[in-house]
Structure 1
Amino acid sequence: MTQATLLGQILDHANRADPYPLYTELRKTPVYREEDTNTYVVSNYWEIKGLLHDPRISSDARNLSPQAAGALPDQEEDESALPPTFLKLDPPEHDRLRRMTMRPFGPPETPRRVHNMRGELSKIVSDLIDDFGDREQIDLVDNFSYPFPVTVICRLLGIPREDEARFHTWADTIAASLDPDPSEDPTERRRIAQTARTDLGVYLAGLIDERRKAPGDDMLSALATEHGPDGQMSQMEVLSTAALLLIAGHETTVNLITNGMLTLLRNPDVLKRLRTEPQLAVPLVEELLRFEPPVQLLPQRTTLADIEVAGTTIPKGASLWLVLASGNRDPQRFLDPDRFDPDRKDNQHLGLGSGIHNCFGAPLARLEAQIALTELARRLDNPRLLEDPPPYRQNAVLRGPRHLNIAFDGCRP
């Protein structure tokens, strides 16, 4: 098996249901150059961890060499005309925007924002499960995993309840553009996605203007009005950040919850434990982030200087792919890495990244998954998979089932 065909197989949708044997093969060459390109792939835990903390690694695609940029896989073109989010920037701009976004979201300025949402999160989950009604079969993605995080983001940003349905529609359309169906006309898909982005942008701009005139206690009001040590965000920066919170938080949490339920249904002994030991949810979600991370790889990093990694020199301007999911199954770091073990100790996984670009919404994503999986385990009577493996999304980066059809014998109160 050649290195080039190995990478091609990892990106091939035919292997989306189980890429882990390919990652095992990949780790035999911790760093390699993709044939005829300036793309380097890193797959082992310690090498990935080091690079995520290395200031010589850039998240700004403008630093790619022309050769490396041309070697990247086709991406849906971002036609939103918004400036880059802090995820795609380097210090000092990254640090400034991240600090400004963190002020109304978490420590040190707002340490209890996520904690204080616990009751509301539980209510949303309970209402969604109540909506299953008398059904004994659902698609967990459409009926639960998608609507839950979008509703949470609406409440976090301060979207009026009467507008949540419209917001959901825009979010679903934009999310679908990140996971394109190859049978669809790409031109039409881009047009529909751009219309949704434009409509969402116009809506958010109006909401931002309202918040500047009459701020509330929501996060959008804070982003629009706060004057902190770093000044105030511009209108475009607020729009870009709000869009980031919508897409990044939504997509990763959908995968975390869906992959989590799939893993529990494949491990009924753990599902039974969670039903009777709700405190298991915390270490269980950490193990899910290691075992089935919602973000599998980071394909758009760039080297700002020549860097030696595991005996290989990666040149300046190269495209660097960090395969987080492979690092999470590295036997040099984790004992028996292909076993799902919620009692695992020292679980310093890469499921939420590491370094300055570690997942901004990690505290909220963790809490959402803990509450969602605990309530699903408690309330669904005898849940079982109807299809295994389920159909997977096209996206190789944001890997997760597109549908997860499960049957059960009713819902407990």
Structure 2
Amino acid sequence: MKQGILSEILDYSNRANPYPLYEELRKTPVFHDGTGPYVISTYHEIQGLLHDPRLSSDARNLAATAVDPLAEEADEEASALPPVFLRMDPPEHDRLRRMTNRPFGPPHSPYRIDGMRGDLKGIVTGLIDDFADPGRIDIVEQFSYPFPVTAICRLLGVPREDEPRFQVWAGIIAKSLDPDPNVDPRDRLKGGHDAQMELGMYLAGLIQERGKKPGDDMLSQLAVGHGQDGTMSTIELISTAALMLVAGHETTVNLITNGMLTLLRNPDVLHQLRREPGLAAPLVEELLRFEPPVQLLPQRTPLVDLEVCGVTIPKGSAMWLVLASGNRDPLRFENPDRFDPYRKDIQHLGLGSGIHSCFGAPLARLEAQLALSELARRLENPRLIEDPPPYRQNVALRGPRHLYVTCDGIRP
């Protein structure tokens, strides 16, 4: 194992295909170059750590001497809003996650997401109808970016006339999380910070309105909810709503875009999806294994000295859990580098696991299923214009910045 493997993973020139690097990384399941993070790359070890209460997601538990290039980058991109439950440990994490889940999913709101199916289908239909030039479609800008932002707005109860403002804020914040060598880092960070402030002020006003006159949207129910944990404070509610907008949006954009790219590289599967719409559900699960939108989880640290595969990881050390590598582990998945939507054993790591498993998974799954099945059905003979496409700089949230596609027409 060469010591420069982490530099190669961070190197943008390898963004289009990091999987050979992950294969090399798995030869040393717990890799440490002596100065950087401890990197875990094999399926069973990652799965075990995701369920281990001795592993913290709270950056305050990271030792001052720990070196983690992604954590340092996150510190530079300090949020204008308080920490979200994603970056907390129990019991505070559990309290806020329970309160957020109450109006979102089972057992209290079992039909929240499925009840959005018709609205989501309408958004997808409208976006595809608006493809002006079938000869050159940017799947990211024209489809996979606006779709989840609009969906989150509808879920939260943002007035439709304000949805364009949310799209602008989401776009600026997303760019602030994605380093661009052509943009001054100070300008990028200031833009993200200012957008978060504007978003926070807007949400504060909306929360105040919903508290006085609640509707059946999620933001209203969070504002007036009365569960075992009481109600959220205004600042907690602002941070949680912003988390749903930004985190849910960014990962779903990558999921849909990675999915369309994978289908175009596997035209036989694309044709099968067109003939068998029911294939969408297992196809998305295989996609979450094969090309997960979240490649790795940084900013994890052990609360005690932790032994993994015979290696002692000292308390307070920086750790990376490389989910995308675990998903290609041949000790867990047969023919892991093959995209197979009929794969029977599909317990992937694409949505995480344990207490920090993806909160928005039900919505992300439904969005991806509707998006990919409709694109497969309506685009006539679609082909890639550029392969590989240009990728985002972000190593953890991996996906194309643009995905240019040409087709012979748009079916009704």
State the TM bucket, normalised to the shorter chain. Answer: over 0.9
- The residue number in structure 2 matching 1:385 is 384
| Aligned residues of 2:138 and 2:402 also touching (Cα < 8 A) | yes
- The residue number in structure 2 matching 1:62 is 60
State the aligned residue count.
Answer: 411
Distance in 2 (alpha carbons) for counterparts of 1:363 and 1:218:
17
Distance in 1 (alpha carbons) for counterparts of 2:78 and 2:271:
47
| Aligned residues of 1:298 and 1:397 also touching (Cα < 8 A) | yes
Question: 254-263 or 189-198: which moved more?
Answer: 189-198
Distance in 2 (alpha carbons) for counterparts of 1:355 and 1:34:
28
| Aligned residues of 2:81 and 2:196 also touching (Cα < 8 A) | no
Q: CA deviation at 1:71?
A: 5.5
Instruction: Show the 5 A alignment for 1:158-173.
Output: 158-173=157-172
Aligned partner of 2:286: which letter?
A: E
1:36 is paired with a residue of what secondary structure?
A: coil
Q: CA deviation at 1:134?
A: 4.8
- The residue number in structure 1 matching 2:199 is 200
Q: CA deviation at 1:133?
A: 3.5
Question: 196-205 or 395-404: which moved more?
Answer: 196-205
Instruction: Show the 5 A alignment for 1:352-363.
Output: 352-363=351-362
1:174 is paired with a residue of what secondary structure?
A: helix
Distance in 1 (alpha carbons) for counterparts of 2:166 and 2:10:
31
- The residue number in structure 2 matching 1:261 is 260
- The residue number in structure 1 matching 2:47 is 49
Q: Any stretches of 5+ residues in structure 1 without a counterpart?
A: none
What are the Cα deviations for residues 88-121 of structure 1, in whole angstroms up to 9, with x where unaligned?
0000000000000000000000001001111111
Distance in 2 (alpha carbons) for counterparts of 1:357 and 1:220:
22
What are the Cα deviations for residues 180-225 of structure 1, in whole angstroms up to 9, with x where unaligned?
2111111111222222111111111110110011001111111111
- The residue number in structure 1 matching 2:123 is 124
Instruction: Show the 5 A alignment for 1:333-372.
Output: 333-372=332-371
Distance in 1 (alpha carbons) for counterparts of 2:35 and 2:188:
31
2:6 is paired with a residue of what secondary structure?
A: helix
Q: CA deviation at 1:83?
A: 1.9
2:338 is paired with a residue of what secondary structure?
A: coil
What are the Cα deviations for residues 6-42 of structure 1, in whole angstroms up to 9, with x where unaligned?
01100111100000000000000000223324x2000
For residues 381 and 72 of structure 1, do their structure 2 counterparts lie closer, same or farther at Cα, with a shift above 3 Å needed? closer
Aligned partner of 1:255: which letter?
A: N
- The residue number in structure 2 matching 1:233 is 232
Aligned partner of 1:189: which letter?
A: R
Q: Any stretches of 5+ residues in structure 2 without a counterpart?
A: none
| Aligned residues of 1:296 and 1:398 also touching (Cα < 8 A) | yes
- The residue number in structure 2 matching 1:185 is 184
For residues 136 and 234 of structure 1, do their structure 2 counterparts lie closer, same or farther at Cα, with a shift above 3 Å needed? same
Q: Which runs of 4+ in 1 moved over 4 A?
A: 69-73
Aligned partner of 1:49: which letter?
A: Q
Instruction: Show the 5 A alignment for 1:185-334.
Output: 185-334=184-333
What are the Cα deviations for residues 149-175 of structure 1, in whole angstroms up to 9, with x where unaligned?
000001001110111111111111111
For residues 221 and 78 of structure 1, do their structure 2 counterparts lie closer, same or farther at Cα, with a shift above 3 Å needed? farther
Q: CA deviation at 1:80?
A: 3.8
Distance in 2 (alpha carbons) for counterparts of 1:273 and 1:224:
45
Distance in 2 (alpha carbons) for counterparts of 1:71 and 1:16:
17
Distance in 2 (alpha carbons) for counterparts of 1:73 and 1:152:
30
| Aligned residues of 1:132 and 1:138 also touching (Cα < 8 A) | yes
Distance in 2 (alpha carbons) for counterparts of 1:217 and 1:73:
38
Distance in 1 (alpha carbons) for counterparts of 2:227 and 2:77:
30
Distance in 2 (alpha carbons) for counterparts of 1:182 and 1:318:
29
Distance in 1 (alpha carbons) for counterparts of 2:396 and 2:371:
23
- TM-score by length of structure 1 reads 0.98
| Aligned residues of 1:381 and 1:410 also touching (Cα < 8 A) | yes
- TM-score by length of structure 2 reads 0.98
Distance in 2 (alpha carbons) for counterparts of 1:354 and 1:80:
25
Q: CA deviation at 1:338?
A: 0.2
Q: Provide the identity percentage.
A: 71
Distance in 1 (alpha carbons) for counterparts of 2:49 and 2:163:
40
Q: CA deviation at 1:346?
A: 1.3
Aligned partner of 2:12: which letter?
A: H
Q: CA deviation at 1:314?
A: 0.8
| Aligned residues of 1:80 and 1:198 also touching (Cα < 8 A) | no
| Aligned residues of 2:43 and 2:326 also touching (Cα < 8 A) | yes
